Amino acid sequence: MSQELHRSVLLREAVDALVTDPGGFYIDGTFGRGGHSAAILQKLNDAGRLLGVDKDPQAVEYAQQRFSDDARFAIWHGSFADMDTAAGDWAGRVNGILLDLGVSSPQLDQPERGFSFMQDGPLDMRMDTSRGDSAADWINSESEAELAHVFKEYGEERFARRIAAAIVRRRAERPFSRTLDLAEVVKAANPVWEKGKHPATRVFQAIRIRINGELDDLQRALDQSLQLLAPGGRLVVISFHSLEDRMVKRFIREKERGPQLPRGLPVRESQISKTLKSVGKAVKADTGEVSENIRSRSAVMRVAEKLG
């Protein structure tokens, strides 16, 4: 398999924040094409170990080829929502977990994967092509009300109901099977186009999140990180849209504050169980990185550390 062009976002910043012990055990929960994994391995010594995780069979195959000679690395096919299964006996001893959310460049750039509204391909959008319903299955069978709900909640699309109605009208005549066909229907139904943004952007984002269960998986992964990380272990998350970033920010803030007890209880601050502390402020790509990789412009990185 040839290596597709892929630039890992916030590469140096993420790896520097993640690796605190060169002999530790780390999880790259979104292997992609291995940019972050390669940089992590460069910082590990011979005792260090890295577990890569990815839903995408293509990414797993690529990982097996790229790092076949490195005994410190292993790859696991599945969602980072099941990191606890992947980590096995390492639970509670993990020194760092990296989650680079969203879609990798190869997924976007391959028309046959069905993620792009700019290139024609089968309407698929599954990160794991070995299981689950495709985007076409869902678009052609879901109720109009649920389509609108998903477009509004996951895509923050203000014309969700109007677009959903247009899709239902069209599919009654001919089911959807191609990306550009769906994009044209969405485009025609969208009355106000944002400058510099394709009118189908939000709808395609919403469908992708729904098909792949991205927000549910993220919440499960965040919850699992508390059991997986050793005291002092780092959680590093790179988000690419506001829904993800709000979830990560809220999770860190809640675990940093600890449980909110009723006023008047005779409990000292030191007695409140807190499980995480945030490390630094949210990090965004600098102008140099954005100029070289436009996909980094919306990236936000947050870091937290497990308390003992």
Give the C-alpha separation, 301 to 139, whole Å.
32
Q: Is 48 annotated as a binding residue?
A: no
Q: Phi/psi of residue 143, each to 5°?
A: -70, 155
Q: Phi/psi of residue 190, each to 5°?
A: -90, 110
Element (H, E) at 239: strand 229-239
Q: Is 6 annotated as a binding residue?
A: no
Where does residue 102 fall: left (phi above 0), alpha (psi -120 to 50 degrees), or beta otherwise?
Answer: left
In contact, 42 and 20? CB cutoff 8 Å: no
Q: Is 109 annotated as a binding residue?
A: no
Q: Is 54 annotated as a binding residue?
A: yes
Q: Is 31 annotated as a binding residue?
A: no
Q: Is 107 annotated as a binding residue?
A: yes
What residue type is assigned to position 294 of the chain? I
Q: Is 80 annotated as a binding residue?
A: yes
Helix (H, G, I), strand (E, B) or coil at 229: strand
Give the C-alpha separation, 97 to 108, whole Å.
24
Give the residue carrying structure tokens 């919850």: 223
Give the annotated binding-site residues for S-adenosyl-L-methionine.
34-36, 54, 80, 100, 107
Give the annotated binding-site residues.
34-36, 54, 80, 100, 107
